[in-house]
A and B are shown apart, each in its own frame.
Chain A
């Protein structure tokens, strides 16, 4: 047994020496990385690590944090009914808007790519419009307003489909469908722009070569040429889709109220915001964030593995 560990240690040591040698030869790489690495550590890693630490404490921002072990986590999972509702809602939103939004933004980026040049610029602008101003979704508070001034109600009443205004954003039965629609509508964002830019970078001669090699329609072209070329952007888009679909909070809070009727639009991040900023229980909020983070990493891992197989 000790022989095994000895060998292992020797191997690790040799690897470490080898890596150190390489690192010394590639000093310039670290020089390039340094400015970013310092700022990234100070403003992203440090707060992240302290949040994870706070998740094991009782921390109300004013008093110093008090270590309480995994009590936040056990309370969260075993006692917090609202959290379970929030988890259910978040998964519903993520499972629908994540994949659908991702596929839609790639699909539309691909369609737009076929258009003549000036139409293309305009089309990208129109599709990106919901993301361009930070709170464009507030137009939906006008559209789905509960009284007869709301557009949707007005249209339905004009058509005679309903006779009294419907409370779209207060009725627990209708909140979720409306929210999912709005989030999908907003999904042409960062990933979409990366797809648009990425599609422009694919070398045209590859398509010509594919044509000679017997690729017959746009779907084959998509699968054998476009998708393999787009892999880095597809990975980027996937991470952005996961980040956005699991972190939904602003839209339900702004439109369905905070808290929403029967917690029908309560997502994990809304729950986190509730504990962090209205009850000032930062430790508990940090535990929520850490759990969500772990789920997202797992989800990311699965998707990255799936994407690696695309077009091969």
Chain B
């Protein structure tokens, strides 16, 4: 990519920023907006309902006809939740720490290991590479319920049952992450890598400082998905010690308390959703931020 090319791309962006985008009819824009608003209302339902229910006092949770918004919003449910959690044998902070460690370690390990593999699969033609990739894609489709038993047996041979590794190690090699990264890396121009090679860069350098920055939307998406998955791990099949259990597992014990704890159960849903939502908003705004100024393809 030459300097003039970049300059002209920036120029064009500046121009199109001020004017309407070409090829867009006003009628079409209105139609799209209308459709987005209507569908968005339906899609937002679980979030709105979970938050509003968590703010309802108990009597409003069972009102007929049910109301969308609480009439007397209260934070009682959250206060009750802290009381219940405060009485548990293992402190709340311990569950939180377990989940944070699993989420952070699992996400970054997965990101690094899967991206490295995706990089060579996308950008180098080496014997076995294509076959390996096809196997990964196909493995994505095999049902998880039946592999759980053989997996458990493997893990017990490796002595990682009842440790966080039983969640983190499989998460490192999740096929979906590799597939996602490879698809995005495929679009990068090969000249980018070749010019770096001419400058004497080694493969890891090419991977780390040239390829990865250019697929930022891909790994931000991967982080979102991975955090969301790991944060919600219950891991009830592979972790038994109370002190090693995850936050979601502990909180679900409260949810299991039945009708009397409906309010608290709603508060649990909201509390559990906070971290994935924050990660999500952060990564989405980053994706939109960086890509507005890229003019990479040559």
Residues of A within 8 A of B (CB): 19-20, 22-23, 26, 28-30, 32-33, 35-37, 39-40, 42-48, 50-51, 54, 61, 108, 111-112, 114-115, 117, 120-121, 123-134, 136-137, 139, 142, 148-149, 151, 154-155, 158, 185, 188, 190, 193-194, 196-198, 200-201, 203-208, 211, 215-218, 220-221, 229, 232-233, 235-236, 239-240, 242-243, 246-247, 269, 272-273, 276-277, 282, 285-286, 288-289, 292-293, 296-297, 300
Contacts of B272 in A (CB 8 A): 133
- Find the A residue at minimum CB distance from B122: A232
Chain A interface helix/strand/loop/mixed: helix
Whether the Cβ atoms of A121 and B149 lie closer than 8 Å is no
Whether A133 and B273, one on each chain, are in contact in the complex, defined by CB atoms closer than 8 angstroms, is yes
B24 touches A218 (CB 8 A): yes
B16 and A188 contact, CB distance less than 8 A: no
Hey, which chain A residues are within 8 Å of B39, CB to CB? 108, 127
| Cβ-defined partner of B129 (8 Å) among A29, A35, A155, A235 | A29
CB under 8 Å from chain A, chain B span 15-73: 16, 21-25, 28-29, 32, 35-36, 39-40, 42-47, 49-50, 62, 64-66
In chain B between 200 and 250, which residues have their CB closer than 8 angstroms to a CB of chain A?
203, 207, 217-218, 220-221, 224-225, 228, 232
Query: B: which residues have CB within 8 A of A?
Result: 8-9, 12-13, 16, 21-25, 28-29, 32, 35-36, 39-40, 42-47, 49-50, 62, 64-66, 113-114, 116-117, 119-121, 124, 126-129, 132, 135-143, 145-151, 154, 158, 169-170, 172-173, 175-176, 178-180, 183-184, 186-187, 203, 207, 217-218, 220-221, 224-225, 228, 232, 269, 272-273, 276-277, 280-281, 284-285, 287-288, 291-292, 294-297
Closest to A233 in B: B183
Inter-chain contact A197/B184, CB cutoff 8 Å: yes
Establish whether residues B145 and A125, one from each chain, have CB atoms under 8 Å apart when the complex forms: no
A140 shortest CB reach to chain B, Å:
9
Residues of A within 8 A of B277 (CB): 125, 132
CA distance A220 to B35 in the complex (A): 21
